Structure 1
Amino acid sequence: MEVGVVGLVIAGLLVGFIVGMTGVGGGSLMTPILLWFGINPATAVGTDLLYAAITKSGGIYVHQRNKNIDWTITGWLTLGSVPAAALTLWLLHSLHTDTQAMNAVIKQSLGVVLLLTALAILFKQQLLAFAHKHAGDRYHLSGFNLNLLTVVTGLMLGAMVTLTSIGAGALGTVALFILYPFLATKRLVGTEIAHAVPLTLVAGLGHASMGNMDWHLLGYLLMGSLPGIYLGSHLSGRISDQILRPCLATMLVFIGYKLAF
């Protein structure tokens, strides 16, 4: 096995391990790592999207078996995210003839979304406390307004994920915590995963249709990430979340700043 291939398998192992331990960090770490390996930005995003769809698909089975998915919320999110993904793919396709312009747009967007993800990870507890504090007051939404805002959230996530392969995890979870503060955490996480799979699948297949896909690369990443997620999941909770999250957020701020500026 070539040195570069070994490096990709190890990268998949490390990212899978971190995702298993923290529940976040998949796309936000994998796509920058692929750029570091010299992978074209569009190919890195397209490959990572299908990588996310495959690795998270097993989560749907587990969460559904444990009744941790709210399919109504998933439906409202998907109503916004899938059309947004299709529109974003169409816009990227219009830039497809100018590869340099498309890669520049993806790289800049990647940096900005990484910075937002870092903030979501770093201030997650404060955001959750705020959401719970105001859960029962007059600012809490319900009915039509709540459904509409869920669709709008899906729209934003759909555009971000399709453009950068990042956002469904940390940003999506925080958004749902704020919109649905009374929903149990395990159901909220399960709902976010159920929404992320069709979104990343549609976006990933769209990128693949434009040639932004490396199937060999996808295989190498999965060789490492699947055992990595298994190991990380079993060690989850052994290291304090108060240590892991600031470290992960600091890393994403550094990477995001370098890409955006």
Structure 2
Amino acid sequence: MEWGFILAGLFVGIMVGMTGVGGGSLMTPILIFGFSIQPAIAVGTDLLFAAITKSGGIWAYWRHGVVKWNVVMRLAAGSLPATLITLWVMNATGMHEGDHNELITKALGVALILTSSALLLKGWIGRLLRAQEGHPVVNALYSLRQDEGHKALFTIVTGALLGVMVTLSSVGAGALGAVILLFLYPKMKGVEIVATDIAHAVPLTFVAGLGHSAVGTVDWSLLLYLLAGSLPGIVIGSFLGVRISDQILRPLLAIILILIGIKCLL
């Protein structure tokens, strides 16, 4: 079983290294459906797994000065309180006893479908908005991101929604966060969106993971096995990622996530 966990970590690490997404989206379903891990423990362990595997990215991006810390703070102002409230409610209603297994599985299914949709439709949504410029709805959306006060408020609300989703399912901080940032902050470069998204995802997943740990839904030995496989996997994936077209990898990953999400909901 230990080698199975290590190989699972290796596989997910390779996918993260190649595509930049897929950590929580793949690891939690693998633990639940592949190894029959209790959903709450799978989510709690995966949150800390994600925080550790992505933490090196913050340092690298920070050194290059591409993290927009004001945006990170806005997201965190919504996500961290939402995470703590979600954890408190789940703990008060029996999370550590497995009472929320069905809720977590359903939330995971919804999060996976939303994440895969974000991966598949990100470019299409951008082209649609540009093609429909002048439409009242599109104008309202554009005015939202042009007003700094409205943009800040919407970013905080986005952070709160991500906080609830990530705490319940460990999915959503990556692809969904990046798509929303792409719309709200169109002047940000691609690397800045990725860097800012990761800089927010690490403390979010770390706080949510520690919260799960406090109520006993983190398996520390499992976490170590997963990390033993994922850390070299990320290096391998980064090497392969520059040789395989992103236009092939991301749609393939998105289709896999949709299928897993549908399975969670059935």
User: What's the TM-score, normalizing by structure 1?
Assistant: 0.94
Percent identical across equivalent pairs? 53
Which residue number corresponds to residue 70 of structure 1?
68
Summarize the alignment of residues 80-119 of structure 1 with structure 2, pairs less than 5 Å apart. Answer: 80-96=78-94, 99-119=97-117
Closer/same/farther in 2, CA of residues 17 and 87 from structure 1, 3 Å limit: same
Counterpart contact for 1:50–1:201, Cα < 8 Å: yes
Instruction: Give the corresponding residue for 2:149.
Output: 144
Select between 93-102 and 234-243 the one with higher mean Cα deviation. Answer: 93-102
Q: CA deviation at 1:180?
A: 0.7
Displacement of 1:123 in angstroms is 1.1
CA shift, 1:98, in A, is 7.6
Distance, in Å, in 1 between the alignment partners of 2:91 and 2:45 is 16
Q: Give 1:132 deviation, angstroms.
A: 6.3
CA distance, structure 2, for counterparts of residue 204 and residue 260 of structure 1: 24
Paired residues in the alignment total 258
The alpha-carbon distance between structure 1 residues 208 and 132, as it changes in their structure 2 partners (threshold 3 A), is farther
Query: Are residues 76 and 86 of structure 1, via their aligned partners in 2, closer, same or farther at CA, if it must alter by over 3 Å?
Result: same
1:17 and 2:14 aligned: yes
- Separation of aligned partners in 2, 1:98 and 1:205: 14
Q: Which amino acid aligns with 1:96?
A: G
Output the CA distance in 2 between the equivalents of 1:208 and 1:191.
26
Q: Superposition pairs for residues 190-205 of structure 1, below 5 Å?
A: 190-205=195-210
CA distance in 1, matches of 2:223, 2:85: 25
1:41 aligned residue: 39
Q: Tell me the distance in 2 between the aligned counterparts of 1:132 and 1:111.
A: 31
Say whether the 8 Å CA contact 2:5–2:226 is kept in structure 1. Answer: yes
Answer yes or no: is 1:251 the counterpart of 2:250: no
**Distance in 1 separating the partners of 2:178 and 2:71:** 12
**What is the RMSD of the two structures over their aligned residues, measured on CA atoms?**
1.8
Change (3 A) 1:45 1:119: same
For 1:43, the aligned partner's letter is I
State the alpha-carbon separation in 2 of the partners of residues 14 and 97 from structure 1: 29
- Distance in 1 (CA, whole Å) between partners of 2:30 and 2:185 is 33
